[in-house]
Amino acid sequence: MWKKLLATAVGVALWGGALPGEALADGERVLINVASHSLALYRGDDKIRLYPIATGKISTPTPTGYYKILSKDVNPTWTDPTDHENVIPSGPYNPLGYRWMQIKGNYGIHGTNNPSSIGKHVSNGCIRMNESDVEALFDLVSVGTPVEITYNRIVVEKTADGNIAYYIYPDAYRRQPLDAAGVRKWLDGFGVGNFASNEDIEAKIAASDGEPTYLGKPYKAKVNSATLKNKAVQVNGITYLPAQEVALALKLDLKWSEEAATLTSPYGKAKGYDKNDILYFASEDAPTLFHLKATLNRDNEYDLTTLKSIPTTPTTNQPSTVKPPVEPGIPKEPQGADTLNPTVDTTKPTPPNFDVTAPPQETVTPQDRGEGAPETTIARDESMGGAEAASAQRKPTSTEPDKDLTTNKEKTAATDPELTPKPPTVKTPSVTAVNTDPTRRLSRPHERGAVLETIPEANREG
């Protein structure tokens, strides 16, 4: 029977539910917990008073159950329950003090002439109060006010700022043994059961000191309007959300690394928190882990809604694809072995580059000619003749040996001085016209309109 009373009592005291059949929605009710030596006065769902009390000895326990105030008396007389002829009138020697509120037979709520007894199991079953407290309560209640008496070693309550605190009291009547699993069930009703470890609960049971332990602020949580079973809980400024439930609501795979304490989803990774085998993540990681935005709405509920756009990855470490600007009039550097370089560096010899496509046409101005005539030089390899260097840079268009374009004879280094290495040529006049003189040959024989190379007279063939 007392287990049923325990469950109902916690529901009334902490959820603000109505007493069976008696309490009105906006009326007063008295809730007494023998184990915690406390008397609370509720008005509607609000606890408006809380007083310390003394209760019955183990041999004469205070009865539990549902009662109501049957009568109220000022300056009551006391009759010894073991000797009805022993009657003490109102005054300083009266153990009832100056106020009496009957709840059942000889049981009632009253004052005391022994204030040091408050907080102990010392009475014959009545509820004792400090004189100032009982007089205040006397004026707040009326005949018919419901009274509920429970024996609850564990008390869970929601504080004014929304925090959940729980207390565990001694088992003076040896009626209510506790274990971690049983305590957790009470905490689960407030959404914070996962935030107390078994070790912490067992240590608190062993202490049974009636001191509060604060666990956090619970909030109802929704994913795209679907309510989650487990609540969001705020502890020390961090709001924890149930990761597995969120992943299930979004139909996403979720992986957990116990060693790294990391949660991984298709969207990314975030730190995870194992709370009694339930995995949580911080609300600030909702965009990274689930592509969600977490906000606390007007109803004091956490809304998790899908972001409108997928977050982009920072590109600060990505290589830039923007090419540097090229100053006007300055040719670009060659980008490969097959790119034509229209300018020639005469300071050091380099192999010529050829492109199988038609080369870009350039306009030669008098300013580009220096002293009035261009100096066109094909750079040669130190160990090759010009024709051999050209042959090494590109695939030949014919299997025939390299021939002189003017005589159609095969050339060798021994018969053609042009194929032997020589220092850069001196400036000599050249003609940029169609080749009609056999003493001049094209510097790039396969290109139409290429610049002609002037053969000095000393090197010309007869």
Asked if 43 and 111 sit in the same domain, the reply is yes
CA angle 163, 164, 168 (to 5 degrees): 140
**pLDDT (tens digit per residue) in 77-104:** 998 888 888 999 999 999 999 999 999 9
What does residue 155 show for φ and ψ, rounded to 5 degrees?
Answer: -125, 130
The domain boundary, picked from 278, 306, 334, lies at: 306
Asked if 90 and 45 sit in the same domain, the reply is yes
Q: Confirm whether 177 is domain-assigned.
A: no
Catalytically annotated residues: 110, 126
The domain boundary, picked from 125, 152, 179, lies at: 152
Cβ count near 12 (within 10 Å): 21
**pLDDT (tens digit per residue) in 424-444:** 555 544 444 444 444 444 444
Q: The whole model's pTM is what? A: 0.60
Q: How far is CA 31 from CA 94, 160, 177, in A?
A: 26, 19, 22
Asked if 54 and 140 sit in the same domain, the reply is yes
Asked if 284 and 346 sit in the same domain, the reply is no
CA dihedral of residues 42, 44, 45, 49 (deg, nearest 10): -20
CA angle 104, 110, 111 (to 5 degrees): 170
Asked if 300 and 351 sit in the same domain, the reply is no
137 contacts 123 by C-beta, under 8 angstroms: no
Tell me how far apart the alpha carbons of residues 44 and 311 are, in angstroms, rounded to a whole number: 48
Q: Confirm whether 189 is domain-assigned.
A: no
**pLDDT (tens digit per residue) in 124-183:** 999 999 999 999 999 999 999 999 999 999 999 999 899 999 999 999 999 999 999 999
Tell me how far apart the alpha carbons of residues 31 and 45 are, in angstroms, rounded to a whole number: 12
208 contacts 214 by C-beta, under 8 angstroms: no
pLDDT band at residue 409, thresholds of 50, 70 and 90? very low
Asked if 282 and 390 sit in the same domain, the reply is no
Tell me how far apart the alpha carbons of residues 101 and 405 are, in angstroms, rounded to a whole number: 133
Q: Which H or E run contains 207?
A: helix 198-207
**pLDDT (tens digit per residue) in 193-233:** 999 999 999 999 999 999 999 999 999 999 999 999 999 99
Range of the domain at 278: 216-306
Q: Which of 42-56, 332-346, 376-390, 417-431 has the lowest mean pLDDT?
A: 376-390
Surface-to-core class of residue 292, CB atoms within 10 Å of its CB (0-12 exposed, 13-18 middle, 19+ buried): buried
Terminal-residue alpha carbon distance, the chain: 133
Q: Confirm whether 211 is domain-assigned.
A: no
Tell me how far apart the alpha carbons of residues 314 and 228 are, in angstroms, rounded to a whole number: 32
What does residue 199 show for φ and ψ, rounded to 5 degrees?
Answer: -65, -40
Tell me how far apart the alpha carbons of residues 403 and 419 are, in angstroms, rounded to a whole number: 12
Surface-to-core class of residue 384, CB atoms within 10 Å of its CB (0-12 exposed, 13-18 middle, 19+ buried): middle
pLDDT band at residue 321, thresholds of 50, 70 and 90? very low
- Tally the domains of the chain: 3
Asked if 6 and 148 sit in the same domain, the reply is yes
Question: Which range in 243-247, 320-324, 352-356 is most confidently predicted, on average pLDDT?
Answer: 243-247
